[in-house]
């Protein structure tokens, strides 16, 4: 497998959606290609961070203050026009 092929299959590799032959070829390539290992690791870390970000919530009182500030800013901008 080449670097370009690995890139094409990277998402499916991460999601474990490749057949056995492609998975084996990807693993073999990753065992010898530092750049592709870095790309795989970076992609997996990005996915992890994105998923973790979605778990954070803003407390209700703080969220309301933010919405109020946005509304005030919007109304002020509208008044200035």
pLDDT band at 81 (very low <50, low <70, confident <90, very high): low
Chain mean pLDDT for the chain: 90
Of 14, 42, 21, 44, whose CA–CA distance to 1 is shortest?
21
pLDDT at 10: 95
pLDDT at 35 over 90: yes
Domain holding 48, by residue range, is 3-80
Q: How far apart (Å, rounded) are the C-alpha atoms in residues 1 and 26?
A: 7
Closest C-alpha to 26, from 40, 43, 35, 13: 13
pLDDT digits (tens, 9 = 90+) for 52-75: 877 777 889 998 999 899 998 888
* Residue pair 8/36 in contact by the 8 Å Cβ criterion: no
The total domain count for the chain is: 1
């Amino acid at each position: 497998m080449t670097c370009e092929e690995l890139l094409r299959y990277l998402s499916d590799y991460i999601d474990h959606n490749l057949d056995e032959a492609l998975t084996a070829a990807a693993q073999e390539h990753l065992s010898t290609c530092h750049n592709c290992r870095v790309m795989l690791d970076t992609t997996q870390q990005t996915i992890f961070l994105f998923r973790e970000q979605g778990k954070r919530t803003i407390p209700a009182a703080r969220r309301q203050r933010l919405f109020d500030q946005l509304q005030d800013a919007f109304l002020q901008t509208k008044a200035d026009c």
